[in-house]
Amino acid sequence: MNISPQAYRYLVPALLPAASLYLLWRARKQPSYLKNWGERFAWSDYPKPREGHPVVWVHAVSVGETNATRPLVRSILDTCPECDVLLTHMTPTGREAGQKIIAMAPERIRQCFLPYDAVYAVRKFLRQTQPVMGLLMETEVWPTVLEEAHAAGIPMALVNARLSEKSFNQAMRVPDLMKKAMGRFSVVCAQAESDAKRLRAMGTVEPVVTGSLKFDIQAPEAALEKARQWKCSITKPVVMFASTRDGEEALIIEALKNTVKPGVLYLLVPRHPQRFGEVEELLNKSGLSYQKRSDLKGPQDTLSNTQVILGDSMGEMFFYCALSDITLMGGSFKPFGCQNVIEPASVGVPVIVGPSTFNFSKVVENGIGAGAITQVDNPLEGLKLAHQWLENPQALSQLKENALAFSKAYVGATARTMTVLEALWPKK
């Protein structure tokens, strides 16, 4: 069913009560959804700009998109010393991840939720925050935001843009709405040519392929040092199941029960914190010996008979990656499109993915070609492959070198993006 831009502007306010109910439902498992409630509906005020400091607005929905903004925000701060940055999000975990970015320059970076896409809310947000330009990360296309920014003369850019075939087909169910919205971007920076092709078909300005900003994210030295200390103490090889999604843990645990290897430590890290308890219950019923990361003050607390560590912590993914020898990437063993394969590769850890990779299709394709990523059909097949690699240290060492070389080969997206954004930059 097609929806006209005008109908959309009337439809969104009518759906706000349902949005309230959704937040309440999410808050049952994640109470942080109740915080800063007023910002979502424009009932409270938004950060006002400091006098004489133009505001560059960067919108990143959740954790992955927020982390990807780090090198871009750093470059903005360095390139335009008089500018401030406003970070907006849609999820509490994204907002929490943003706190670490704010720590880079707390006097120049502020933060809030982006309100829902109702005209009254968007107008209040833009009026109070007064951005001189807006950068939307990856796949964030809000028709009212784009229309109101255009009316206010605020140039908008879609950066680190990706658009899978699935998302493209969904968007084209409402072509009138989406094509008008996509046409409001002044600049589009695509991750790959395949993304650019689909974005072009949706009516954007000519996209520029700049690569993925995620390749430019550097692992914090503190995380790497902590991983080195743990590896010295644990001494066992570590196989990680990273950023697992709903339904995948049951498959992984079943595979572990059938093929668990003595002398190997398995690290299971669910993607969403509200599911930590659910995954622990699965482990509890499995008969596998496990400990929770939250109960471990250090590697000395890891018991010799522990088979699985449940990664029930936030903000430690680089530590988990550096601690691991092999990563099986979550989101790829159920139809979620895969999570971030770049993080483990960037610290020299080879990656095994399942069949669903549409969110990182080009990255996975390139990684397979570079010998850094291997694709399998299911967790059991992936686990058996990981065990084969562990039994062949020379082959595993080469795979680690491949992963590191692969990640380094694609560094530079931030610089390319900043070059494209020069046309929108506030004039001195």
CA-CA distance, 349 to 341, in Å (whole number)? Answer: 10
Rounded to whole angstroms, what are the CA distances from 249 to 65, 139, 269, 278, 332? 24, 27, 9, 10, 12
CA-CA distance, 114 to 424, in Å (whole number)? Answer: 22
Q: Which phi and psi angles does 323 have, rounded to 5°?
A: -75, -25
Length of the chain: 428
* Residues 309, 302 contacting (CB under 8 angstroms): yes
The tokens for 394 are 């020379």
- C-alpha torsion angle, residues 99, 104, 110, 116 (rounded to 10): -50
C-beta pairs of 271-280 under 8 Å, 24+ apart in sequence = 271/243, 271/244, 271/245, 271/330, 271/331, 271/339, 272/93, 272/245, 273/30, 273/93, 273/312, 273/314, 274/26, 274/29, 274/30, 275/29, 275/246, 276/310, 276/312, 279/244, 279/249, 279/310, 280/310, 280/312
Residue 107 catalytic?
no
CA-CA distance, 53 to 329, in Å (whole number)? Answer: 42
Residue by residue, DSSP assigns 97-157 as HHHHHHTT-TTTEEEEEPPPS-HHHHHHHHHHH-EEEEEEETT---HHHHHHHHHTT--EE
* Residues 143, 118 contacting (CB under 8 angstroms): no
3-state SS of 147-166 is HHHHHCCCCEEEEEECCCHH
Reduced DSSP (H G I as helix, E B as strand, rest coil) percent helix, strand, coil of the chain, to 5: 50, 15, 35
Among residues 39, 51, 65, 140, the one annotated as catalytic is: 65
Annotated catalytic residues are 65
